[in-house]
Structure 1
Amino acid sequence: MTLIWGAQYILAVILIWSKMYKTCVAQEDRNTTEYDYLLQNASFDWSDIPELCSKAANRQFREWFLPTFYAIICFLGFTGNLLVILTFFYFKRLKTMTDVYLLNLSFADLLFVFTLPFWGFNSNSKWGLGLPVCKIMHTVYKVTFYSSMFLLSCISVDRYFAISKAISAHKHRSQAVFYSKISSALVWVLALIFSIPEMTYTTINNNTCTPYTSNNDKLRVSLQTGQIILGFLVPLVIMSFCYSSIISTLSQTRGFERNKAIKVILAVVAVFLGCQMPYNIVLFWTTIVAAKGGTTVCSDDNSQMYAIDITQCVAFFRCCLNPIVYAFLGVKFRHDVLKLLKEVGCLSQDKFFKYTVTKRKTSLAYDTETTTTSFSP
């Protein structure tokens, strides 16, 4: 009897589980059929889901472009500016305001050149040098950038008074060097003050040393706007006024030296605009985009990165050209450089006379401080 009741109990359990299984399978089939129906007949809008922007091509471009240009700029900038500094100290040429400004300009450019290896490391590798080195790199760049721009403005103002206001400038000639040292110190102080935001907000973001976090558009707009105004527009206005007045004054004179002086001025303006304007145009473009909340188009984002990398390298190249257009174009300075090379054994006596005697006939106007060609020392 017990076996019969046990068999009936087991059979009842089996029937109940069988019925429950059929019910679950039927429900699952119904859910699957409904899901397939939704997939087949319903359209899903994928436009609201953001698509990751590929930076592979930009990274490959950076791997060869930035190190190549940084190496060229580092070599030429170090050689040219160091030669200017050695010439100034060896011959004790700090006799005019422009001499003092040129010496400070070479120090600024040389100091910036020392940061280029860190820029190259930051562009191709994960930043592993810590936050203090990151802040120092960006701060030194900003200090040397602002000081260079302000010193170029000071040189143009000095040349304006030396040529366009020669009489009044001659009255203060004895105090000119003192004034230039004070103004140079003021330039460095202002450059340091304007670089405070760089010291404050520079950080390490995604293993990269950056002057601000990538999602802080308001800060980016403020920093870039300040750089455009203080580092480009203000020097451009000062240099445009001074050099246009100088050219106007030179146009009233005659002679071959006048044409040479105008060519020097045009070379100075061309170097400034050629190096700084492309980068500032791109900087203005990216500032406008950031002010509008950024871009969601991958191609536009990559185009900005290409434009910034290329134009920034061109702007960095200015530190290599400053010794040429501001120092080596001057006959007296070029003569001192050749003399220095001769004395250290890099130039023979015959070549020294070959390069100096042939130019001596046309160097008279360069030797005076207030003549038409006194643009270069």
Structure 2
Amino acid sequence: MRPYLTTAHRYRWLLGAVLAIIWGAGIVAAYTEYATTFESEATIWVLRASPELATTSPDDPNATVIQTAASQQADLLNQLLQTKEFLRDVVRQTSLRAALAAAPDETKFLAGVQKSFRVQTHGNNLLTVSFAAHDPPLGPEMVNAILAVRADRVAQASTTFTTITNTLYQKQLQVAQAQALDAQRALDEFDASHPGALSDIEQHLKDQLRLTLDYAQIRLGDLRGRINQAALAPAILSVSGMEFQVVDQPQVETSPRGGTRSAAMIGAVAIAAGCALAALLVVIGTLLPAHVSGPADVSRLAPARLFAAVPRVTRAGGGASPGDLRTSLAAIAFADGGARNGEVSG
């Protein structure tokens, strides 16, 4: 650990400059993201849950899980946002239609739009739909578009369901009408074949035929009522507007909002990247030293090829100088205070 601390202290100015550049750029990018993000939000009140939106239990598909009205509508919107066709219809109703048409990768473009949407529940009957964008007018435009496309999809699904139901009821009505006609014909034929007084057995048969006719007529009336109810229910629900009410319309935001999370993520990434790069530089500087700072560093280089020969320097009186260069280098390189054959190898 000490060599790394020594390297960090040695290159402290370089590391400080690297951290200042990376962290400074990250702070600027985070602030820019926060200051230029505008989130528009619509608050929606759901009065009652649709029976068609009941969620099944994963353990028992036949058992339904009780969900609140808000959670059901939120799940519906989140599921619609997973489809490209729904997102494409939403974008086509906004000013981004030209950008979508010119996008080289439509899937990537739609994925970016999807990430900007957020659907949250607040209690049993309240939910919010928001969209974050760098252009303030784009937020309410996208929120209104998703609500409009959602309403169209729900109306289309309701119409399709009503059509299928009416078709089924019409077929059942045709069968019931045929049964009623057969019962009426059988009763008329019985009356025509028995003009006089009836015996007990004949009266019993006539009562059975009349009971069959009454049952067929009751079934006809019930089917006609179901057909009328299936046709009127979506219209009544659409006129009442009680199932899905937009309480607070999306507004054009004038102050930054909704960019806190993305700005914090950018700042965290910048801090982590700066620390990682600084640590990498310290490791490289420690493992690959570029200079010799003392006898310990020189000893790590031995044994090595002879790269210089230094003659012995003596005093005028013939004795070796205590500070001569050869003796000093030998002491540093070999730590034995001597030299061999009048040469120093390092």
TM-score (norm 2): 0.23
Choose 1 or 2 for highest CA Rg: 2
TM-score (norm 1): 0.21
Q: With CA pairs under 8 Å and 6+ residues apart, which has the higher RCO, 1 or 2?
A: 2
